[in-house]
Amino acid sequence: MVQTNATTDRLTLRRPDDFHLHLRDGAMLQAVLPETARHFGRAIIMPNLVPPVVTAAQAAAYRDRILAALPEGMTFTPLMTLYLTEETDPEDVAAAHASGLATAVKLYPAGATTNSASGVRDFAKVRPVLEKMAEIGMPLCVHGEVTDADIDIFDREAVFIDKVLKPIRKKTPDLRVVMEHVTTQDAVDYVRDTHKNLAATITTHHLIINRNHILAGGIRPHYYCLPVAKREMHRVALVQAAISGDPRFFLGTDSAPHTDANKLLPCGCAGVFSATNTLSCLAEVFETAGKLRELEAFVSLNGARFYGLPPSGETIDLVRGAPVSYPDHIDTGDGPVTVFDPGFPLHWRVEA
């Protein structure tokens, strides 16, 4: 379906999907939803609200609020997730999946990130849910970081793979797992070396920044997210995975809005808001790597295939020209939210 003309200044793609997105609620939801729905057809919606979206009933109510916030004339399908707790009822999960309400379950190790306090401490306690999910083919989206204070923050993903994910997958090999927002060569290698029931999402920002962008020459809170960006060799491994066309790697932006007031604090929130300019950023990354032809697989095909969804029947056009300017922030009823700054000019815009 990728069509490029002779000079490759126009790219027609099936309408992309975002397989990891934070939309929040209330005024924030109202402001950020159009930023995604403008370009994306569907998104996996993260359940880490306060309180979290744990039950089928909560997911149904949240889906209604999302659809109610969608501006007139826009189409968008939220794919709901349930937040896994040690009290989650396997039957509630199974019913939510069977009815089409919930697409996946999200595992946050307790304390790993924003609003993860109700997450999992003792993995033995969620075994019945995981077994039920394996039985019905419902995917588990995993925030793959250990939370132990004595594990270096830059090592938490690699340690999670060995200490948590491998044992879970050994005990429940039929469970379909998405390692979300992978940030390391270790995770890329693990996914590549595993031939069944494992895939990974990669964010836009982790394809572009490394840890120097956060810390060298002054601290840049708007680049701080979890998992935190790692050293350059890991970023390069992520780019190689994304451009490879390997169907196990696909886009999940993890676009995670926080107001500037909450980012620019002595202890600021983790999250990068990239919904607004993600496709322009990705086109630039793929073009620089000489792999524009693989962009459609990464943003529009691989994820849908893993989730058993048909690819979109709609298309979007990306057009190359003079650098596009995006706003440096969007206004929300809660205050301004800064848009991800890739640090280089963006030549591809999405044609309306």
Residues forming contacts to Zn ion in the complex (CB under 5 A) are 254
Taking the least distance from each CB to ligand DOR, the nearer of 50 and 74 is 50
Shortest CB 23 distance to ligand DOR, Å:
10
Q: Which of residues 212-231 bind ligand DOR (CB under 6 A)?
A: 225-226
The residue from 189, 254, 331, 334 that is catalytic is 254
Residue with the two structure tokens 């591809």: 348
- Minimal distance, residue 7 CB to ligand DOR, in Å: 38
CB 81 within 8 A of CB 46: yes
Length of the chain as a residue count? 352
d(CA 229, CA 122): 27
Examine residue 144 and tell whether it contacts ligand DOR (CB under 6 A).
no
Give the one entry of Zn ion, ligand DOR, none that residue 48 binds, where binding means its C-beta sits below a cut-off of 5 to 8 angstroms depending on kind: ligand DOR
Secondary-structure breakdown of the chain: helix, strand, coil percentages, each rounded to the nearest 5 = 35, 15, 45
**Token code pair at residue 54:** 């744990």
Cα 235–chain centre separation: 16
Q: What's the closest the beta carbon of residue 240 comes to ligand DOR, in angstroms?
A: 23
In the bound state with Zn ion, the residue whose beta carbon lies nearer, of 69 and 272, is 272
Closest approach of ligand DOR to the CB of residue 179, in Å? 13
CB atoms within 10 A of CB 57: 12
Q: Is residue 253 at the binding interface for ligand DOR, with CB under 6 A as the rule?
A: no
Strand (E) or helix (H) holding 96: helix 90-98
Q: What are phi and psi of 251, to 5 degrees?
A: -75, 130
271 is an interface residue for ligand DOR by CB under 6 A: yes
Site map (CB under 6 A) of ligand DOR, residues 32-51, x = contact? ----------------x---
Bridge partner list, 88: none
Cα(161)–Cα(130) distance, rounded to whole angstroms? 17
Residue nearer to ligand DOR on the CB measure, 48 or 58: 48
Minimum gap (Å) between residue 271 Cβ and Zn ion: 8
Parallel, antiparallel, or unpaired for β 10-14 and 3-4? antiparallel
260 flagged as catalytic:
no
Phi-psi region of 283 (alpha: psi -120 to 50; beta: other; left: phi over 0): alpha
How many residues make contact with ligand DOR (CB under 6 A)?
10
Q: Does 77 bind ligand DOR (CB under 6 A)?
A: no
Restricted to residues 104-133, the positions that interact with ligand DOR (CB under 6 A) are 113-114
The catalytic residue positions are 254
Query: Which stretches of the chain bind ligand DOR, using CB under 6 A?
Result: 22, 48, 113-114, 143, 225-226, 256, 270-271
